[in-house]
Amino acid sequence: MFLTDTPKYKAIVEESKYITRFKNFLCEHSYDFEPKYFITLFYGRSYEGHLLEEEDYRKRWDIVKVRKTHRFIRKQITKVFGEIPMVFCIERHIDKLDPVFGDKKGSFHTHLYLGDIPNVGSLGTDPLVQLWFWRDYFGQCLNTYKDDIDIDLKKQLLEVCIRQAKWVGKYPDSVQIDEIRHMEFHRTFRYGLKQIENEDDINNVIDWDNSKFMLDYQED
C-alpha cells in the first residue's frame, strides 16, 4: 500500500480541502462589505505605554481576555461610528525558547478588518468630545490638529477610538491602521487566516462573537 492510499493520508487531504474551501467562503462573504481598513493590535504594553508587570503580561496568553478586548473595541466603534461591519482574527506571535521553561507559545495579537466609517461629526457631538481631547503617549490630542488639512482626521479618530481599550492604550506601536486597496483585499484577508491549518484552528483564529459574520447569521 502506498502512503497516499492510507486512511490517515486521505483524511489529511480532505481536511486540507475543507480548510481551503472554508477560507474561500470567508473571503467571498467579506466582499459583502469589502473592508476598508486592515488594523493590527498589539498587547505588549500597559494602557499608559509602560512595560507590563509579570502578572499582567501572562494574561496576554489568555484568548478569552483577548476576545473581551475585541468586545470592548466593537462596542466603542459602534458607539462612535454606528454599525460598521468588522472581522476579528486572532494570531499568535512566533513561539520562543524560554531559558527556564523551554518552548513557549507566543502571546496573542489581533488583525481587525473593518468596513468604511462615516465622516466624523461636529466637535460637540457626544461621544466624540472625549475622543477629540484624549491625550496620547506624547501628551497631544486630536483637537490640536483639527484644522490641519494634511491629517486624515477620520482615520486618526478611529485610532483614538480603538486606543480606549485597556490592552491597547497609548503606546504608539500598539495600533497599526492601513487602508486596503480594492485589488489587495483577497491577499490581505488571507494573511489574517494563515494560522488556520486544521478544523480546530477555525474557532481559535476567528472571533465569531464579535465579527460581522456572526452578526449576519444571528439576524437571518
Q: Which amino acid is at 129?
A: V
Stronger pLDDT, 8 or 174, i.e. the higher one: 174
| DSSP per residue, 140-209 | --GGGGTT-TTS-HHHHHHHHHHTTSTTTTT-GGGEEEEEPPGGGHHHHHHHHTTT--SHHHHHHHB-GG
Question: pLDDT higher for 154 or 12?
Answer: 154
pTM above 0.85, yes or no: no
Q: What residues does each domain of the chain span?
A: 3-219
At 217, the pLDDT band (50, 70, 90 cuts) reads very low
CB-based contacts of 98, cutoff 8 Å, min separation 6: 104
Contacts of 177 (CB under 8 A, 6+ apart): 37, 38, 39, 155, 158, 159
The pLDDT value given to residue 219? 45
Top-confidence residue, 169 or 147: 169
pLDDT of residue 1: 47
**Cα 136 from Cα 115, distance rounded (Å):** 25
Summarised one tens digit per residue, pLDDT across range 176-205 is 999 998 767 667 777 787 878 777 788 899
Residue tagged 470592548 (cell numbers)? 72
Mean pLDDT of the chain: 82
Q: What is the pLDDT of residues 79-134, one digit of tens each?
A: 998 889 999 999 998 887 766 556 778 899 999 999 999 887 554 556 788 898 99
Confidence of residue 212 (pLDDT cuts 50, 70, 90): confident
Select from 194, 219, 203, 186 the least CA-distant residue to 35. Answer: 186
